[in-house]
Structure 1
Amino acid sequence: MDGILSGYGSEEEAIQQTGDVKPTTTIGRTETNQRTAGLGSDPEDEIDDINGDVFGIKESLSNQPKSEPNPSNIIDRQIITTVPHVIPAIDQSSSTSLILRPSDTEMNVNVKYSDMILPKQGPKNPFTSRKLEKMNTLNGHIEEEYINEVDFDRQQRTFHVLKYAKNPSIISSTSENPALNFVGDVHSAFKNEGMLASEMKITKAMQKKVKRKREDKGELGVFDEEEEEEEAGEDGAPRPPTKSREYKGPWAGWQDEHLEPVGPDEEEYEAAKRASTSSSIVKKQATEKGQGKREVAYGEEKSTLHAKSLHDYQGRTYMHVPTDLDVDLLSSEPPSECFLPKRCIHTWMGHTKAVSAIRLFPESGHLLLSASMDSRIKLWDVYHDGKCLRTFMGHSKAVRDVTFSNDGKQFLSAGYDRQIKLWNTETATHFLAGMSDKKIVQYDMRSGEITQEYDQHLGPVNTITFVDENRRFVTTSDDKTMRAWDFDIPVVIKYIAEPAMHSMPAVSIHPNNKWLAMQSLDNQVLIYSADSFKQNRKKRFAGHTIAGYACEVGFSPDGKFLSSGDGSGSMVFWDWKSCRILKRLKCHDQVIISHSWLPHETSKLVTASWDGLIKLWKKSNQIST
């Protein structure tokens, strides 16, 4: 039995059949050594080896040419390994799972999105576009389609007017389901047979239908207010009332139209009337007790002198220009060089509400006039003790603006009580006033009568600025336009209105009288020429926020700096040449509505705010006077 098993499938049988002797090389112990040690081969082990060699690795190794062992290399029946592991064990199931055939419909492995968006292997083709890569998104797919712009506008207009449009997803004009041809109101589309809004025309039937709904226009020249009452016929049956013959014309209403009155009914009106009567009684009682008593009656003017005396020891009033200063206030030349102010040196307090405007005395600037929302006007000293000299009372409501005459002997004040008052009148001249009723009115100060009206604006007039030696003037309005006029001629000589323009509530003229700086409500200052009234596009001053306030614009006496207040209580200074912001100076807690440079000082500036304060500023290293 052992002889049969030893010769079955052994090398001896193969040698006997082929007559060749094959050299063998084994890893570890060789088959020959096993036989010499008395260990016979087991057929079951051979079967297990065959079943375990699924990929044929051992078979490929056994087919390789074998070399005959050298007895000199055998030490203690151990053989040195000459062939390394060159074919590693590969997990065939995991390697073939990523390979898909074109006929496969399922993928058993979830591939990462980062792997799917990787570029293809190899160099990129510079002649191919990568539009498809941009169209693939995480939540869908983008497709480019060409739609005629005219057709798109027609469909969009039809959808807004008729509430339907053609379905852009359907390529052909017809579909098996007609309801899919349109989007929106399908019933309206079927009713109008899919017509576009531009193709719709009013037919005669539609016109008749509309006319039948209108009431009778009536007879021309007939004005009967009430319809005739029902009259009984000959048989005693009441006849229908005759139609009203009152002429209504195009104001005729529609049939079956019931107009409900708008506003309070009679009961609400009576209740409001009783409430107003009771409130007026309370006000009258408060007035009698002295709680609501006015200091000045309507139409009455008075002033209060706060100085010790009206005249000094030489008989001069406060109107006299002081000459005891280190500054020549009578000089006609401005300072050669100006500087930006840095610190506050004086504060005028006296107004109980917001200050709306301040004006310096012409040419000298030794007096300061201020108007406030407390309906008072105050005159202040600038160079000496800085006290209030006189208070003018005459307006019943807040004072909007004040201005001196050219010689300073009188001034005008305009208030929200719709009155313009002239104070200390000595000469007979004319002046202009811009009104909120879209008009510019020219008054004769001697007679108080209106001599001319300029009524071309479409909104309330904000500013009036004289140019060209007072022969012309420029006006701005809330209608976002600017107009130039010849004095005493109510015809516009220049009309400026652009789509990007905003209302300009404040205007100032440059010291050289060549440029006009206009505060625009879009947070910028625009520059216009004073002779041609054209905008200088190269000069634009921005960087401040006025937030709808009519903040005034000012220039330094030498014209090198442009200044403006803002809504946060800061003063902003620009360089006139470069239009660059030079400095921001925090002056007040509320909006700075008005400011003015002293004409003969190098750095002194007066600011007025809605906090009720007026402050004087100057450069830090300048000696106070």
Structure 2
Amino acid sequence: MLQLQQYGGDSGEDSDESTNDLSHLKPLETGKNIDVLQKNFSVCAAPDVVPTGPVEPLHFTEVNTKEISRNLKYDELFAPELGPENPFLTQQQRARKNMLSGFVEKAHISDFQFENQRRTFTSYGYAVDPTVDDSSKEHTAVVGATLAAEESSGKTVFESTKKRPLDKRKRKKNDNPEDIEGFLGPWGCYEDEQRVVKPNDQEAEELEEYLAKKQKRGKQMDEKPLEERTVLHIKDPVDYQGRSFLHAPQDVGVNLRSEAPPERCFLPKAQIHVWQGHTKGISAIRWFPGTAHLLLSCSMDYRVKLWEVYGERRCVRTYYGHRQAVRDVCFNNSGKQFLSAAYDRYIKLWDTETGECISRFTSRKIPYCVKFNPDEDKQNLFVAGTSDKKIICWDIRSGEVVQEYDRHLGAVNTITFVDENRRFVTTSDDKSLRVWEWDIPVDMKYIADPSMHSMPAVTLSPNQKWLACQSMDNKIVIFSALNRFKLNRKKTFSGHMVAGYACSLDFSPDMSYIVSGDADGKCYVWDWKTTKLFKKWKAHDNVCIGALWHPHEPSKVVTAGWDGLIKYWD
């Protein structure tokens, strides 16, 4: 009590001596004053509680106040200032904010309704206007495609798909397993379902033409192939005995009918002849089968030419029949017929001697490579690798497709028959190598490795044991052609530049050397056993796309380039 008595005022003001000093009072008055003090300074031990009555209004404080004698509440601390508006505030500073990016009003909408309107806007282009909150109106205001909303009466995705007419479609049923012809099981179609029949050839052509016009393709594919013609460039198509130019000459110093290869091969040293006649780059060259006394070449000038290898080395015949660059050519076993595949999507079968076009084949896709089946009893069949990842087998007699091998993931570049023609190996832009059994459309072997590159040219060795593949990483890689088709990692031939070009390669007849062209127009020769580069020389002014070693000559090589020339080296 004495402490309370000595306690001064309720602020830091200087207390009066008369207030604290009670000595001048009489004893009786002192007791009365102490009673008064007890009543004034009664201690309240009750805790602070939240008032339940009306909340007292905020007490605003003057801006100029230096001291505050009471504890301010949060609302008062952050209450707005009174007085005139600051003229220098930006619109952004003046705006009310309840979050960093602005002011968000409280809204109550269910997740379903929000998602429903969002999907409706995505699907139909309209949704209920979220700013309008008046459900009493009959026509709710919409944003977006108002015309579409009027047509569909403002139906949402949920409402429009509520009634599904297909839910009540009845299926045809026949669960009787004894009825062999009519048994449907769970595969019965709907009663009102119309089965789509595959269009016939005429309808397919009309559809193709319609789609071409619709997609506004630049040049529509010509329906009719180009009319074929041929030109014979030599005066005497037959000799004094009545034999045509297909008959091998005998007085050339080498037995062209021999089955055995030369005992030993040597590196060519000099150019001995140039065949000129193509006006654009050459795509491929092929020896006449067996004798190699003729050379067939196809070019980007849309033509195929046949050349003499011996004698006067003239151009024998030119075959005109394609609208675009010819990609590949292939003789049959006798050499009396050959195939030409071009970018005009046609494969044509020609009579080598007369130049007549016997038949035409097309799958409406670009054929990249074409090969006759080498078996004598299957000379009526040939396979072609196309741009739509398929290998298609045609029958010459009927003109029909008899088999399709459709497993590659990219355009098919090469087809090579191995294992006595029971199998064939294909390479593709999908950087894989696949091995197929003849007439079985599932690959029996698939070789793909992350380190592998596309291999646009493949050649089988003379002993049928190895496949030499021109790889796009400037290497020639070797696979075994028997049984396992395993990559031979010890044999890799490098040093040339072929990336981006399908430069073909060849073995010497005795398997001593490998010869290949390259992108700079050079010709390279490696040793087969040691993989050592023996020789390289400048053969062409542009890409040297093909190199072939003569099968009966020990040191003669023919090369073809994109300069339109075919050169003979010895």
Could you tell me which residue of structure 1 aligns to residue 434 of structure 2?
A: 483
Check if 1:215 corresponds to 2:119.
yes
Contact 1:338–1:603 at 8 Å: present in 2 too?
A: yes
Aligned match for 1:607, one of 541, 559, 569: 559
Partner in structure 1 of residue 382 of structure 2 = 431
Kindly indicate whether residue 309 of structure 2 is the aligned counterpart of residue 405 of structure 1.
no
Is 1:590 equivalent to 2:542 in the alignment? yes
Q: What is the aligned partner in structure 1 of residue 155 from structure 2?
A: 243
Q: Percent identity?
A: 55
Determine the structure 2 residue equivalent to 1:372: 299
1:492 to 433, 437, 443: 443
Following superposition, the deviation at residue 239 of structure 1 comes to: 3.9
Query: Structure 1: how far apart are the matches of 2:541 and 2:494?
Result: 22
Q: Matched residues in 2 for 1:523 and 1:213: separation?
A: 59
- 1:4 aligned residue: none
CA contact (8 A) 2:120 2:126 kept: no
1:324 counterpart = 2:251: yes
**Counterpart-to-counterpart distance in 2, 1:237 and 1:468:** 82
Structure 1 residues 229, 428: closer, same or farther in 2, change over 3 A?
Answer: farther
Decide which of 502, 507, 527 is 2:458's aligned counterpart. 507
Separation in 2 of the partners of 1:213 and 1:482? 53
In the superposition, relative to structure 1, how do residues 328 and 247 fare at CA in structure 2: closer, same or farther (>3 Å)?
Answer: farther
Match for residue 353 of structure 1 among 280, 285, 297: 280
SS in 2 for 1:304: strand
Distance 1:444 1:210, change over 3 A: farther
Question: Unaligned 5+ residue runs, structure 1?
Answer: 1-190, 192-204, 219-223, 249-272, 281-293, 619-625
Query: Bigger CA drift: 237-246 or 492-501?
Result: 237-246
SS of the aligned residue for 1:215 comes to: helix
Indicate conservation of the 8 Å contact 2:474/2:495, yes or no. yes
Letter in 1 for 2:508: S
For 1:156, the equivalent position in structure 2 comes to none
| Structure 2 unmatched runs, 5+ | 1-98, 100-108, 142-148, 163-212, 352-357, 360-377
The answer as to 2:497 corresponding to 1:545 is yes
Q: Does the alignment pair 1:339 with 2:290?
A: no
**Structure 2 CA distance for partners of 1:209 and 1:490, relative to 1, 3 Å:** same
Shift in Å at residue 563 of structure 1? Answer: 1.0
Judged with a 3 Å threshold, the aligned counterparts in structure 2 of structure 1 residues 357 and 226 are, in CA distance, closer, same or farther, namely same
Distance 1:247 1:450 in 2: 46
CA distance in 2, matches of 1:577, 1:543: 16
Which AA in structure 2 matches 1:215?
A: R
Counterpart in the other structure of 2:9:
none
Amino acid at match of 1:326: G
TM-score w.r.t. structure 2 length?
Answer: 0.60
1:211 and 1:454 map into 2 onto residues whose CA distance is 48
Query: Which residue of structure 2 aligns with residue 517 of structure 1?
Result: 468
Counterpart position of 1:13: none
Q: 1:449 aligns with which of 397, 400, 420?
A: 400
2:526, 2:453 → 1: CA distance? 21
State the structure with more CA Rg.
1
Which of these residues, 462, 474, 478, is aligned with residue 413 of structure 2?
A: 462
How far apart are the structure 2 equivalents of 1:464 and 1:247?
53
Structure 1 residue 216 displacement after superposition: 4.2
TM score, norm. by length of structure 1 = 0.55
Given residue 407 of structure 1, which amino acid in structure 2 is its aligned partner? S
Over residues 38-86 of structure 1, what are the superposed CA-to-partner deviations in whole Å (9 max), with x where a residue is unaligned?
xxxxxxxxxxxxxxxxxxxxxxxxxxxxxxxxxxxxxxxxxxxxxxxxx
Distance (Å, rounded) in 2 between the aligned partners of 1:306 and 1:229: 81
In terms of fraction of residues, the more helix-rich structure is: 1
Give 1:586 deviation, angstroms.
Answer: 1.1
Counterpart contact for 2:424–2:435, Cα < 8 Å: yes
Q: 1:469 and 1:421 mapped to 2: Cα distance?
A: 26
Amino acid at match of 2:119: E
**Counterpart among 496, 503, 527 of residue 575 in structure 1:** 527
Instruction: State how far apart, in whole Å, the 2-side matches of 1:210 and 1:439 are.
Output: 49
Matches within 5 A, 1:141-290: 211=115, 214-216=118-120, 238-240=139-141, 241=149, 242-245=154-157
The 1:452/1:237 distance shift into structure 2, 3 A limit, reads closer
* Residue 563 (structure 1) aligned to one of 515, 532, 543: 515
Alignment-mate amino acid for residue 334 of structure 1? P
Shift in Å, 1:548: 1.3
Report Cα offsets for 1:278-316 as digits up to 9, x if no partner. Answer: x99xxxxxxxxxxxxx9xx83421111111032122111
| Aligned ranges 1:117-156 → 2 under 5 Å | none
Of stretches 451-460 and 539-548 in structure 1, the one that deviates more from structure 2 is 539-548
Instruction: Provide the C-alpha distance between the structure 2 equivalents of 1:331 and 1:210, rounded to a whole number of angstroms.
Output: 86
